[in-house]
């Protein structure tokens, strides 16, 4: 029913989550946060509307994460990602003392966690045949 999950499908979902996080806040370019805080008091309704749309996007990803991974899956995932960050810092590939790099690492962690939540149900169905379903009534 869901078909074979191609790598391109997984990548597309991760890129969509990365776009959502990046457009909300990023330290290197234009983002919603900078537009709201530095852009003056103009266009308040448009800012609220865009903020609501971004909020809906995050709610969608968080709900998918809770549904597919729950706490029992999210904690090991965070431990793995945290260990990876620690390893990269130990190998001096990243410098956590640099505020810019630290911000990018935190954003990367958020993207990996939310992206995993969005993709995991599809991957689990392919691996185990178990369909993630929710009863409506």
Nearer to another protein, 62 or 80 (CB): 62
* Side-chain half-sphere CA neighbours of 39 within 13 A: 12
CB of 76 to another protein, least distance (A): 20
- The reply to whether 48 sits near another protein by the rule CB under 8 A is yes
Q: Out of 11, 53, 87, 100, which residue is the one contacting another protein (CB under 8 A)? A: 53
Cβ-based neighbours of 118, under 8 Å, separated by 6 or more = 13, 14, 16, 17, 61, 64, 65, 68
The whole-angstrom distance between residue 1's C-alpha and the CA centroid of its chain comes to: 26
Q: Out of 19, 49, 86, 93, which residue is the one contacting another protein (CB under 8 A)? A: 49
- The reply to whether 2 sits near another protein by the rule CB under 8 A is yes
């Amino acid at each position: 029913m869901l078909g074979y999950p191609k790598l391109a499908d997984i990548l597309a979902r991760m890129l969509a989550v990365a776009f959502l996080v990046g457009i909300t806040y990023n330290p290197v370019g234009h983002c919603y946060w900078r537009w709201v805080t530095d852009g003056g008091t103009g266009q308040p309704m448009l800012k609220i509307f865009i903020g609501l749309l971004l909020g809906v996007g995050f709610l969608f990803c968080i709900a998918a994460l809770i549904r597919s991974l729950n706490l029992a899956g999210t904690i090991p995932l965070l431990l793995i990602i945290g260990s990876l960050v620690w390893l990269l810092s130990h190998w001096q590939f990243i410098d956590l003392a640099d505020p810019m790099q630290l911000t990018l690492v935190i954003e990367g962690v958020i993207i990996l966690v939310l992206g995993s939540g969005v993709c995991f149900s599809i991957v689990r169905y392919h691996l185990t045949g178990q369909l993630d379903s929710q009863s409506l009534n």
